[in-house]
A = this chain, B = another copy of it.
Amino acid sequence: MATENSLSIGALAKATGTTVETIRWYERVGVLPAPARTSGNYRAYGAAHLERLSFVRRARDLGFTLDQVRELLQLADDRERSCEAVDKVAREHLEEVVRKIADLEALRHELQDLIGQCRHGTVAECRIVQALSPRGGSSRS
């Protein structure tokens, strides 16, 4: 560690449950500001970086895209503004999640139907294969 009170990239990774590569990547795409460097060209992070990276990780764990994270970070930086916009981002993300759940539920039903119809004979009689084929039925190509 370079000067007093700074974190190496590895230490920051451990502290936030991230990998070193991911941190470098966040810097490249601008979600985490480039830190100071030591004499040996090592990155030296401070408390602000730790805080910011934790924010990013929490948001990513909640399924926000990096674009949304960038937006949230910008909004969160202006502490006096109303949090309406923050609320909006979160609500839109929630809607997206709800949509995805519905899509997957529909998928689940279709798959269960398919699997339930399988009589464990030959492929030629297999309902799963038939359901995947053009006319859902006796395909003799």
Which residues of A are at the interface with B, using a C-beta cutoff of 8 A? 47-48, 50-51, 54-55, 58-59, 62-63, 72, 75-76, 78-84, 86-87, 90-91, 93-94, 97-98, 100-101, 104-105, 107-108, 110-112, 114-115, 118, 120-126, 128-129, 131-134, 139, 141
A109 to B11, CA, bound (A): 32
- A104 closest partner in B (C-beta): B101
Which B residues are CB-close (under 8 A) to A132? Answer: 55, 58-59, 62, 72, 76
Query: In the complex, are the beta carbons of B83 and A129 less than 8 A apart?
Result: yes
Closest beta carbon of chain B to A11's beta carbon, Å: 15
A84 to B120, CA, bound (A): 6
Query: Given contacts A78-B123, A83-B128, A87-B120, are A54 and B101 in contact (CB under 8 A)?
Result: no
A131 to B131, CA, bound (A): 46
Query: In the complex, are the beta carbons of A107 and B115 less than 8 A apart?
Result: no
Query: In the complex, are the beta carbons of B97 and A101 less than 8 A apart?
Result: no
Which B residues are CB-close (under 8 A) to A100? Answer: 104
